Structure 1
Amino acid sequence: MLGLPLLEQVIHNKWGVYERWCTAHNADPVNCQIATVLDFLQEKLSTGTCPATLRVYVAALSACHAPVDGVPSRTRIPSWDLAIVLEGLVETPFEPLESVSDKLLTLKMFFLMAITSLKRIGDLQALSVVPSCLDFAPGMVKAILHPHPDYLPKVPFSTLHPVIFEAFCPPPFTTPDQERLHRLCPVRALQTYVHRTSQWRKSEQLFVCHGGHNRGAAVTKQTMSHWVRDAIALAYEARGHTSATGIRAHSTRGVASSRALAGGAPLQHVCDAAGWSSPHTFIRFYSLDVHVTLGSHVLESTSQASV
């Protein structure tokens, strides 16, 4: 189907194969029993379909098949709107960035890094400010970050690549819109954060506590998760909206990757950035229909900053 993002093409194609198989076997593809699905997968395996392709079939069937025994399938509708959050982050109380509180600087910076890197909270926690792990390119055109050498990733066989952030809509500006978009630049936010925290940080870990008796100390993954939820809530409030409920920090990976794919980013690039070994993981657990919310109207250039 022309015009569909690559993810939807993959699901459509695999589901079409399954539908044709069901028609030939007088089965309802949407409401059949699990035994029928297993028969289909077994036949595919017996005729030489590789395990990786079988996993894609499973993902497609999981996305399109009706709930079984009353168990609902995973929702593909985002619980919050990326467009609203980004619009909230470019105005008060998150700007001007140089004079906002340590808390608001931290929330904005961390959200932008989470949404543009697609990394797990644990991967972000492993980033460090030591010179060998953090480098700003001349002119602040990019920032290159490496995890601490002792860090063990959640997926043991994954290769640790540096996290690279490109400057977003950098100066000089020719229109007010360009200056406004630059407020979403992760390099700008990171440089401001590193400079600010250098005055009171007590840890080489990039992300540190912004207040209380632990100010400057290394932050926990639980606290970092709270930062994501707080940033979303405050951005919604800044735009005059009631914040969505049930927001999970982990959802940034699904929202950002789905938006990047919908904006034209290659599926394999999205998977590589997020650390997923195959498209199956994304399709099965993270893909979201970003076209059903205001997220379809997100700033055009958001997808360019997402991977």
Structure 2
Amino acid sequence: METVGLAPEGAQYLEAGLSAGVVETILSSRAPSTRKLYGLKWNVFIDWCRRREVDPVNCPVASVLEFLQDRFSSGLTPSTLKVYVAAIAAFHAPLGDGSLGRHQLIVRFLRGAWRMRPAARTRVPSWDLAVVLEGLAEAPFEPLESAEAKNLTLKVAFLLAITSLRRVGDLQALSISNECLEFAPGNIKAILHPRPGYLPKVPSNVARPTVLQAFHPPPHLTADEERLHRLCPVRALGIYIQRSSSWQKADQLLVCFGSPKKGFPASKQTISNWIVNAISTAYQVRGMPSPLAVRAHSTRGIASSRALLAGAPIQEVCDAAGWATPHTFIRFYSLDIPSTPGSLVLAS
């Protein structure tokens, strides 16, 4: 039985009389990345407890609060403390009828940490979408039919991210299998479903298909229309699928383009790196220094903010991005940008 990162939790369930199969199914309710993250945080808590001769599994709430205060005093953000609480709660013995994470003092501690150290978030994007799109329409990204596999992959990953508003994990879940990918007649749109069994980061959300609309499809009456078509996500996707078929070794859509993992599924971290590299390379193409501190996740804030400014209804934007309410967008993603889901983003 695999209990990656959560072996202590699995051991507790086994000791409670549950079968190995039941335990594995329970542990699989969390994504492997979450299990690994919780395991790392739990190990930090174990080391802290050992130095104080405290039982990490059965320690009182006061010990957990002292640990959190120690972490908070060292400069950790409230959001990081929240992850620690979730990790410790996963391994810690239940407190009465509830989880440690729901204990009143823990909840109040986190609330106090947020008030004392509120998250500082810039409202100004760290990179210019217009600059990136201009760079993607030129060499070395074009002509796409003969571009290096690296540049082809970077461009496709970026266009998927910016026009779908999806998380990197959602992009990783896309598949080229017949039941997951469909091009409409005339390639006016592409419909991509996540692989069967994929659970979004927010379990309450339904895994919706990603619909890409063609951008400035032919025939082109002007050179400018032809140039804009180079940014079409449907076109880029079609060329990528055709060219990558010669090295695909899995049905995941985005696969590695270089040795030794060429053709194998790309990890979320790899896809994130591709998106950041696409932004950086596009800036270099335009003769500009690469922007600093760029994160792949920033595509969601820029795309959703531009979509809203372009007139897209806020609920449609939230549905495309996988946010349950507009509150999430307003609090974490809304940006101050001059005057998009899908082609509205590109039209900017």
SS for the counterpart of 1:74 is: coil
TM-score, with normalisation over the residues of structure 1?
Answer: 0.73
Give the aligned partner of residue 234 of structure 1: 281
Change (3 A) 1:72 1:134: closer
Greater displacement, 149-158 / 245-254: 149-158
Quote the Cα distance in structure 1 between the aligned partners of 2:151 and 2:327. 36
- Residue 257 of structure 2: which of 210, 216, 239 is its match? 210
SS of the counterpart of 1:223?
helix
1:70-108 superposed Cα distances (whole Å, 9 cap, x missing partner): 756311000111010001000111111101000000000
Equivalent position of 2:137 in the other structure: 90
CA shift at 1:139, angstroms? Answer: 1.0
Deviation at 1:303, TM superposition (A): 2.2
Structure 1 match to 2:217? 170
Contact 1:109-1:186 at 8 Å conserved across structures:
yes
1:244 corresponding residue in structure 2: 291
The correspondence for 2:169, drawn from 108, 122, 125, is: 122
Give the share of equivalent positions with the same residue, in percent: 60
Please give the residue correspondences for 1:252-263 in structure 2 after superposition, counting only pairs within 5 Å: 252-263=299-310
Is the aligned partner of 1:303 residue 2:314? Answer: no
TM-score by length of 2: 0.65
Alignment of 1:1-307 (within 5 A): 73-291=120-338, 296=339, 303=344, 305=346
| Cα deviation code 1:20-78 (max 9, x no counterpart) | xxxxxxxxxxxxxxxxxxxxxxxxxxxxxxxxxxxxxxxxxxxxxxx976756311000
CA distance in 2, matches of 1:197, 1:225: 19
Q: Is the 8 A contact 2:300 2:333 kept in 1?
A: yes
Instruction: Figure out how many residues of one structure are paired with residues of the other and give that number.
Output: 233
Distance across 1 between alignment mates of 2:332 and 2:345: 23
> What SS does the aligned partner of 1:195 have?
helix
SS at match of 2:260: helix
How far apart, CA to CA, are the structure 2 residues paired with 1:245 and 1:170? 34
2:199/2:207 contact within 8 Å kept: no
SS of 2:156's equivalent in the other structure is helix
* Structure 1 spans left out of the alignment, 5+ residues: 1-66
- How far residue 302 of structure 1 moved from its aligned partner, in angstroms, is 5.4
Distance of 1:200 and 1:156 partners within structure 2:
33
Larger relative contact order, structure 1 or 2 (CA cutoff 8 Å, min sep 6)? 1
**Amino acid corresponding to residue 81 of structure 1 in structure 2:** D
Structure 1 residue ranges, 4+ long, deviating more than 4 angstroms after superposition? 67-72
In 2: Cα distance, 1:242 partner to 1:185 partner: 26
Give 1:181 deviation, angstroms.
Answer: 0.4
Could you give the per-residue CA deviations for residues 274-299 of structure 1, whole angstroms, max 9, x where no partner exists? 000000000000011112xxxx4x9x
Q: Quote the residue 1:51 is aligned against.
A: none
User: Counterpart of 1:189 in structure 2: which amino acid?
Assistant: A
* Shift in Å, 1:179: 0.2
CA distance in 2, matches of 1:91, 1:118: 24
What is the DSSP-based 3-state SS (H/G/I as helix, E as strand, rest coil) of the residue aligned with 1:178? helix
Q: Which is greater in Rg?
A: 2
Cα deviation digits, residues 126-152 of structure 1 (max 9, x gap): 010000001111111111110011111
The letter of the residue matching 1:237 is: Q
RMSD of the TM alignment (CA)?
A: 1.8
